[in-house]
Amino acid sequence: MFRLRKKVNCDHNATTPVSRSVRKAMLKILTSFQANPSTPYRDGRLAAQLVEGARQDLAAALNVGPDTIIFTSGATEANNHLRSIAPLMPSGRRSIIYNPMEHPAVLEPLRLLAEDSYKLIAAEPDRYGRIGVADLKRQWSDEIGLAVLMGANNETGTLYDLKAMAEFVHLNGAFLFSDLVQALGKTPLDLTDLGVDYASFSAHKIYGPKGVGALYVKTGAPFAPFMVGGGQENGRRAGTESLHNLAGLAAAARDIPVLLGKTSGLRQLKETFIEKISEFYPRVSFNTPPGSGSQPGTVSLTLPGLDNAFLLGQLDFHGISAAAGSACRTGENDPSHALTAIGLSPEAARSTLRLSFGHDFSPRELAYVLKIFKIILLGDEHKRITVLKPGDLTEDFLFQKDLTVIHIKRFPRFQGQKPLPGSRVTALADSSAWEELKPAGPLLLTCDAGYDAPIMAWRLRRRGFKNLSVLAFGLWGLKMTRPDFLARIEALSREEGNEHEP
């Protein structure tokens, strides 16, 4: 008798699957449109018409004029325009107020501006990450020329009253830039009504393709291009337009009303998840604002005393995709900046998971997710794999004769932490490396930050591997907490001629 393994995607905030209508639109372009939109002949003119049609489709979804839309390679590029917009702040102002829970694609450009002598003022969110006009008033100064405030948080799902904050910002003579990546398709967006001056979007968060997005620039708002080198996008963004990706973005934008029509049912399923998991695991706490104050499908939950990296591995073993925070930060060991900004300790942040359900999430999938959470939280699954904290490692364990140590690298070219002596090194995606591995003794898996090894351990568990151990917090945690121990085992390894593989 065999057991079917379900597959449930609970990480739609990281990316969404490409919809059927988007695939159809993109395939048509890939097979029928080969010209450069900047060329003057007939095929080029047809391609240019397609670009403008996509601009009109997205503009219609946002209730703005097409001339306010600039196509980009994604929201990251759009957010990096902060570096060219900041010098245009009125009256020579040099201060920027921002939400400390912003995505790294916003925080990094802000960090670079701070290095260029701009002053950053972090607003102070409450327990659920909420920021309002009263919070802006409390920290406002006449030196602030730009407010950077997201519309929806990617980790907690918190929604913000952008219209009220835009009115306050404009009343004080400043501009407002908003990352609306997680808001589009999940809550109604009327940019004309909201009044924001700049906004960023990404197609792959609304069932479109990766590699394309847009920047909204309100009519009359100062603007300077960030990408230069050509006259595309009316001189506002250099680079040949990606026709098939723009066709996909346009199709996804046309489907936004369908997505919005599904949000009430999605919110009900999320509330059921919160209710049921609270019943069988009362220790859980939630970082997502209740009711309509959050996205319909996002929930952030803290499970005290449990390592989120190991929980991700267990969920992956059962076919459930989830996240520990922003997908762009999963390979790092630092606790989520968004969670620490709302007052969670580093330990609590490392015990927190984010689930983000898609618009087609079904009651059957919800029942399966709850069933697996109950098995993980109340059962004895944790006994299948041994979790070794940095303090648990000993010289006797590492130098036992039949131990096999595998170091998992997510990105083969990324150097990361130095592997333990005697380790074999393999990439997370290289499944062929495990086919010939038949260890007779125990197997210890390590990785740089503590996320990849648990996931691989549960994959190996599914393949029948036994006697598995995982180093919690990765080699980063070992290096931070026990540098003397690391130096000692490396010295012992050199004495025995057992250097790690390069």
Beta strands in 260-413 (DSSP E): 285-286, 298-302, 320-321, 352-356, 385-388, 404-409
Catalytic residue (one of 35, 121, 274, 328): 328
Known catalytic membership, residue 10: no
Cβ burial of 466 (10 Å; 0-12, 13-18, 19+) is: exposed
Q: In degrees to the nearest 10, what's the CA dihedral of 48, 50, 52, 55?
A: -140
Q: Which helix (H) or strand (E) is 177 found in, with range? A: strand 175-179
Whether the CB-CB separation of 249 and 54 falls below 8 Å is answered with: yes
Whether the CB-CB separation of 130 and 287 falls below 8 Å is answered with: no
Q: Is 307 left (phi over 0), alpha (psi -120 to 50) or beta?
A: beta
> Measured between alpha carbons, how far is 29 from 250 in angstroms, rounded to an integer?
12
Distances (CA, A) of 246 to 26, 51, 52, 76, 257: 8, 7, 10, 16, 19
Whether the CB-CB separation of 97 and 137 falls below 8 Å is answered with: no
Return the HEC string of 241-292.
Answer: CCHHHHHHHHHHHHCHHHHHHCHHHHHHHHHHHHHHHHHHCCCCEECCCCHH
**What is the residue whose two structure tokens read 């984010």?**
354
Active site residues: 328
